[in-house]
Each structure stands twice: as structure tokens, then as C-alpha cells.
Structure 1
């Protein structure tokens, strides 16, 4: 076979139709190379084309382009090993999972073996392989959607230098966050900076052409390059503790990774401009952007406390009626209980709760249903959703709805401003607390982001301020409003853990805990929005339905536990002594030491 050594790195021609390109869209050199490789592959492996995969060990040797081939080997050295070994990623990384080589289906194609990428070094091969097998498959719903997404992104990446280098940079950034203990991390991080510079130069050239009046329009590949650069505007590598056990949605679509990234304003403005120029979000490549651009739009504007720019692309689906979910007995009971206090009376026999604004009712109903389905998914068993993909549609609808809801009180108003505004009544303040707590719950359970975004701290700060304003007004006589405020204190208190606000929340919760028994108030919370997370579900001594979020909060905040022994705390919370000690130990490991042990009793530090 002819050698590739004389070829330079080239890219596929842009495909304006949005469909996967074929060999007619390749340039002459690519067609010749594909023909040679296809003939060789048909004779060697006609039905089982696979990616060439690499280990960090192979990456440390040489700087040649691609894998080496032996003279008598007609297929080349196909390495059936993981691209990243567990020891390189570290056994302490909770988000890590083994990444194996990805065999293609019959009649598939191999982008690293069939196309003339002779200018690519081993780092480029590794990062493209990592993107195709680890990062891109996180998007799209169900197997077909993920396959279409990954294939579309690969085609777009190979269509332009800007998208190619941006893709390498994005993959390198994800790798450094997802695999923090890998031995090759420093080199990949350095290469990522190099690729970012190359991507920015290529994008700048495209923009200059556009500004000079070039008839060339922005392509989907150009949009992809700017999209990736926007996501990776800046990175927060700090190790911040999570304030609560993670929802399964926290790692869905790798939100625990992308939540550390701060989108760049200039690139986001460029995205909005290009999409507008192309006639709106419905006129761009839906396989490439249909799932991810609305999410980026929501996350970017959520940080700014502004509504999403794009309309919601989701339509609510009746999960039960469409056979996507068959609630079991426990789920049916939860559907009756969860969110009960956010419903209106069907016959109008009872007045609407003072904290409930009518346009919040449907949104809260959907969030409660998704929560119950998520709980059933965690418990498994007959009728449970097969995957989080089943819940993603309604979850994204709810996300767009709550993020689009404007504040009832201007965000710029401080506590003193509120005290001096007699025209802002208690009902309006309750409506705003309800909106903010729904945003907090959304950020904890449905579209969770890591603490690096500052979302939980921002909203919990506002909730605390509004609760204090209400407490200085006339006493709350409506029992429904009192219970609602208690729920708001707990939601805000969970979000404020490991921050300067937690002491203030502790004091609020202590007052309630002194006057109300645990057995009385805990069931009331479950009539609002509440998710029983299972952070300790593997503990043999823990019942599978134990409400860890609630009990960990009570233990850590010490609301009813000050001055108690660990045995007494265990009795109050229903945990074992071992589990109480473990919760304390984990809090201390994360830099939070709220208590001291003195004579085997607990006290505030």
C-alpha cells in the first residue's frame, strides 16, 4: 500500500445539507486514500472495523503521526486496551469509569484509519478517540440519538480546521477534569492550550472574512467551533465540596464536568448571532445542536439570572400513558403525596395557598412527577424507567419553564429596600421564595450544577433575606404558609452548607426544631418537593429507602442535636452510630468542622 507520509492534514468538504457526507464529498486525495484503505480493510476485517485505541504508555513514546505499522501487518497494530487505565485516573475519582475501545457496527467507518490524517500526532488521535467514546456519547437521547450526535460532531470536526482544533481543545479540557490523576495530564493540558490558540486563530480568520464582506456564510462546522470555544471560556479546577448527596442527573450529560466551565460572553454572543443569521435554532443541524444548544442557552442565562434566549424545544410527554414508566405501589403513593401542597383544590373548596402563584402550579406538578419517576429509577424494580433518557424530555421542559419565570421582586432590592417598601406585601414575598426554592430544587435534582457555578449560594442568599423580612413583619398565622417557610428553610439550608450562610440557617431551623417534633414536621416536607437521594445506599446497615438528604442535613446542621451524644443523634435521625460518625468525618474531610467532641458530646465549635 502507498505510504501516507507525503500527505498534509486535510479536512472534509463542508456538507450544506446536514446529512452525513459520502465519498463524493471528499477531495481527490481523500478519495484515493479511502479507496486504498477500504480495499485493505475488506480483505483483512470485512465485518469488524474497530477504532485504534491508545494507552497513556504508548503516548509517551515518539512523536510520529498515528500508530506504527509492521511491514507484514496488513491491518496495522490494533490495540484492544483501554484508552485510560484505572491507575492513571485514580481509584478515588468517583466520576471515573473505565473507557474501553469502541467497536463499530458492520459497514461502519473508521475515521482514524480510513481517512488521510497523516499529519496527526498521537495526542490528536487520543483526544479524538476520547471525544468519540467518552464525551460525545453523553449527549442525545437513547442509543440512536447518541450515535447520531457523535457521528454528526465527528463529521463537523473533520470539516474545518477551526472545529478540529476546538474539538481537540474541548476534549483535552474534559480529560483534565474527568481524569485528574492521569500521569499524562500536564502534557494534555499544555496541548489543549496550544489547540485553543490554533482554534481561536482559525475562528478569527473566519470572522475577518465575514466582516470583509465575503459571500461565504457561516457553516455548521464554524458554529461548532465557536460553540466549543464558548463552553470552555474558563475553567474552575478548585475542589469544592458538594452540599448534598448527588442526584443521578448530576452526572447525566456530564454536568459535573461542564458545570465547572464558565461560558465566554463573546463566544456566546457570536453563537446567538450565527443562529439568528441562519433563521433560528430550528434551521441548524439538529443532530449536532438540537440537544446541546438549548442546554447551553439555559445554563448560560441561569448564571446571569436572565431567561433563556431560545424558546423551549420540548413538548410534555405523558410518561405513564406512553408506556415509558409504570409506577409501582410506592410510586403511586408518592404521586399522591409529593407536591400535594402545590396543588389547587379541584373544586375550589379551599382557597389557594398564599405562597402558590397560579402559573407555578403546572410547573411544580411536572417537577413532582419527574421526581417520583427518578426515585423509582433509583429503586429499580418492575415498571421503573429504563434510563434517565426517559425523564430528560419533561425534565428539560421544567428547566426551561422555571428559568423563564421572571422574579416577583426585583433582584436588585436589598433587605433594607424591602423593609422600606410597604407596598410589597407578604404574599408577593412568599411567591418569590417559592420561585427561588423551586430554582434551588431544580439545581439540586433536575439539572444539577456543581458548587462552582455559585447558583445555590446566590439563590439561598436571597431566600434567607426574604425569610428574615417576613419574620420582621406580622406573624404568620396561616399554617400552610408556616409549613412552607419551614420547607424553604431546609431547602435553603441544604444549599448553603459549607458556606458562610449555614450558621444563619442553623439558627432558623433550630427555632422550628425546638417547637416541633421530628415525627411531625418531616412528613410535611414530603408534601412539597423532596427527593430521597441514596448516597449511602450501599451501606449494609442502611434501609434502601432511607432519607439520607434529610438526616444528613439534621446531623450536620445539628438543629435538634446540639449537646447530644452520637448515640442520641443516631436515635434521633434513625442512623447508626457508625453512620453518624461517618457523616461527621466526611464533613471534616471536605473542610467543614461544625462540631467538636467534648466528653463524647456534641457542641458547636
Structure 2
């Protein structure tokens, strides 16, 4: 029906939609088990995710995101959901006793995916409780730590452990470790390297990992009084940067300009109160935070600020920091060259121009 374009308001599409709405209404009015059947829930999910499409696109994309079409993220990331439908989904799932009670094959994944897209697009906590996906994350860990992997790949996310004294929590380190594993899996798959995981494994794992990222508590929720501490606290800066990386590499939703705008604004504010600039011991992780924040700030008012901070950081480095050395350090945090490299080089050109 849709052919090469989406026509949600065509006469034929609307006629089907009205039939679905009438049938849902009849089921709800009937009450009892009929109102919460899996088929009714699926119909509401479809109504919620096939209503209003935001067709606007960014003029420039800060990240060359891989697998952005997997799970139709390039389409469903543009959907503006109807709040009434979303509330109905959440209420029915709760009344059923949680998402584990759903029996229709694939329905759990559909609801969890929709919920995660909504959470990422609004920078909020997922509304649907995390389903049991430990086996997917465990499988990715086993694959990533196999002796067959390249030593350079095993460096991903390894450097975060050096900053426990500066606010890194055990939960955050565990989430970042999982982000490193799925990033490595994506890299292998995109490059078509021998022994790469299947796309299905990557999709299941990335959904679980990105959900964990979004569930990390804010500094305020942890009641961290960062501004009152004399020691730098990088927790909130790292959490926000991880969300940016997740949107760039792991779960790249479409039309991310406004979301990234909010994130770089919050990241700039978090850096200002973190005291991260005050110690040379945090230079490497500060580099990671500034580079990812600076790339995300493409075409945004905050871009010059990130460029100026990177210029100051470069001048403070003991050795002359060029892009090759900078990217080498970034790889020990969370980084994927095929996704972030072009944006990073463009950002670094602006830094060098400022240093002239």
C-alpha cells in the first residue's frame, strides 16, 4: 500500500484504521480478559507507532551511524507517538502483571523496542521494566573476550576503571563494559570480519545495552553534590557522553538534532560544575567527553565552546597532541572510528585553527 512513500492519511489507510479503532473499542468495553488480550495490545502498539511522522532531516549528520536501518530505526525514530496510546500500552502491560506475561511471539520485543526509542528520543528512563536479557549481554561478553579478538579491540572501555576515585560507580563501569562489547560486535559485523556475530545477536544485545545506559541514575538521583566537592566528579559527564555514544553507534534513532542539542547543553553544564578541568589526571577521559560532545554539537551554538575547551586541553598536554594520538587514547574509552572518525577529524581541524 505504501509503495515508495508513507501515506498514513490516505482514504484506504484511514478506512482500515477506523475498523481497528472500532474493534479495540469493542474489546475494551467488553472488559475482562478480552480487553487485555495480546492481539488487542499489539493493535494499540501499531496505532501508537504509525500515526504522525516527523519527516524533517538534519542538514548534516554528526555521526556516520552503522545499522541505523536495522529494526527500521530510520523509520520508527521519526514517529511522534500519541500519548493516549502509549499510556494504554503501559496500563495494559501493568494490569497483565508485567511484560513477562505476554505470549504472542515477538510482542515483547516490539513493546520493549518502542519503549526504548521513546526513552532515547526524550532522554528519559524507559517506562517498561527491563526484561531479562542477561543472556544476550553475557553472550556478547563471551564473544568479545575470545582469544581470537584483536588486542586493540579489547582496549575498548578498559580505561574507565582508572577513574573510580572520580565518581565512576560499579554499575556504570559494568554498563560501559557491555557497551564496549556490543561496539566491538558492530565493528566486526560492519567490516565483514571473520568470526563476526550475527545481526540478530547484535540487535538483541544493543537493545538490552542501550536500555541499561538509559536506566543509569542521574547524579541528582544518586544525590551527588558535585559542586560542593573539591575533588573532580565525572559521573554525570560520563553518563551524558555515554548516551551520546549510544545514539551514535549502538542505537542510532533518526532525527536526533533536538535530542543531541539537549544533551550537549546538559553536558556543557555538567562539565562546568564537575571540576574535571582542575586535574591533569583526568585529561584522557576529559578528551573523550569533549570530543564526543563536540561532534554531537555540530551546527549547534555549543560547538565553539567544545572547540575552545579542546584547544585548552591540547595546550595542557605534556606532548603535542595530534589527532592520531588523540584517537589512540579515545579507543581505550568508547569509540568507533567508522562512526565517529570523520566527525572527530572535522572537529580537530577547528581546534587546530583556533590554536594558530
Matching residue within 209, 212, 217 for 1:401: 212
Matching residue within 529, 532, 544 for 2:334: 529
Q: Distance in 1 between matches of 2:276 and 2:336?
A: 32
1:51-70 aligned at under 5 Å gives the runs none
Q: CA offset at residue 398 of structure 1?
A: 1.4
Q: Distance in 2 between matches of 1:554 and 1:323?
A: 34
* Cα gap change, 1:323 to 1:402, in 2 (>3 Å): closer
1:437 maps to 241
- 2:85 aligned with 1:275, yes or no? no
- 2:49 aligned with 1:228, yes or no? no
1:500 maps to 301
Q: CA offset at residue 242 of structure 1?
A: 5.0
1:374-389 aligned at under 5 Å gives the runs 374-385=186-197, 387-389=198-200
Matching residue within 378, 392, 400 for 2:203: 392
Q: Distance in 1 between matches of 2:7 and 2:117?
A: 29
2:268 maps to 464
Structure with the larger helix share = 2
Retained in 2: the 8 A contact 1:243–1:494? no
Q: Distance in 1 between matches of 2:170 and 2:352?
A: 35
Q: Distance in 1 between matches of 2:102 and 2:12?
A: 30
Q: CA offset at residue 328 of structure 1?
A: 4.7
Q: Distance in 2 between matches of 1:457 and 1:284?
A: 37
Matching residue within 553, 573, 578 for 2:347: 553
1:107-506 aligned at under 5 Å gives the runs 127=1, 172=2, 179-180=4-5, 189=10, 191-210=12-31, 216-302=34-120, 303=122, 305-317=124-136, 318-319=138-139, 328=148, 331-335=150-154, 337-343=155-161, 352-385=164-197, 387-409=198-220, 422-423=227-228, 427-428=232-233, 430-452=234-256, 454-470=258-274, 476-479=278-281, 481-506=282-307
Q: CA offset at residue 280 of structure 1?
A: 2.0
Q: CA offset at residue 284 of structure 1?
A: 1.5
Q: Distance in 2 between matches of 1:478 and 1:562?
A: 22
Q: Distance in 2 between matches of 1:533 and 1:474?
A: 28
- SS at the partner of 2:106? helix
Q: After superposition, what is the alpha-carbon deviation per residue over 1:469-528, rounded to whole angstroms, capped at 9, x for unaligned?
A: 34xx5952242x122122111111111212232232222223334554214433211111
Q: Distance in 2 between matches of 1:229 and 1:186?
A: 14
Moved more, 499-508 or 430-439: 499-508
Q: Distance in 2 between matches of 1:370 and 1:327?
A: 17
Q: CA offset at residue 197 of structure 1?
A: 4.1
Q: Distance in 1 between matches of 2:220 and 2:327?
A: 30
Alpha-carbon RMSD: 3.3
5+ residue gaps in structure 1?
Answer: 1-126, 128-171, 345-350, 412-417, 536-546, 565-605
Q: After superposition, what is the alpha-carbon deviation per residue over 1:124-173, rounded to whole angstroms, capped at 9, x for unaligned?
A: xxx3xxxxxxxxxxxxxxxxxxxxxxxxxxxxxxxxxxxxxxxxxxxx4x
Q: CA offset at residue 203 of structure 1?
A: 2.9
Q: Distance in 1 between matches of 2:69 and 2:168?
A: 31
* Cα gap change, 1:503 to 1:271, in 2 (>3 Å): same
Q: CA offset at residue 193 of structure 1?
A: 4.2
Q: Distance in 2 between matches of 1:332 and 1:319?
A: 19
Q: Distance in 2 between matches of 1:207 and 1:450?
A: 33
Instruction: Using structure 2 for the length normalisation, give the TM-score.
Output: 0.84
Q: CA offset at residue 563 of structure 1?
A: 9.5
Instruction: Using structure 1 for the length normalisation, give the TM-score.
Output: 0.52
Q: Distance in 1 between matches of 2:30 and 2:101?
A: 23
- SS at the partner of 1:257? helix
* Cα gap change, 1:494 to 1:215, in 2 (>3 Å): closer
Q: Distance in 2 between matches of 1:410 and 1:243?
A: 32
Q: CA offset at residue 554 of structure 1?
A: 2.7
Q: Distance in 1 between matches of 2:192 and 2:145?
A: 11
Q: After superposition, what is the alpha-carbon deviation per residue over 1:221-268, rounded to whole angstroms, capped at 9, x for unaligned?
A: 211111111123432111223533433231110101100002222111
Number of residue pairs aligned between Structure 1 and Structure 2: 349
Retained in 2: the 8 A contact 1:312–1:400? no
* Cα gap change, 1:328 to 1:498, in 2 (>3 Å): farther
Q: CA offset at residue 453 of structure 1?
A: 7.2
- SS at the partner of 1:374? helix
Q: CA offset at residue 432 of structure 1?
A: 0.7
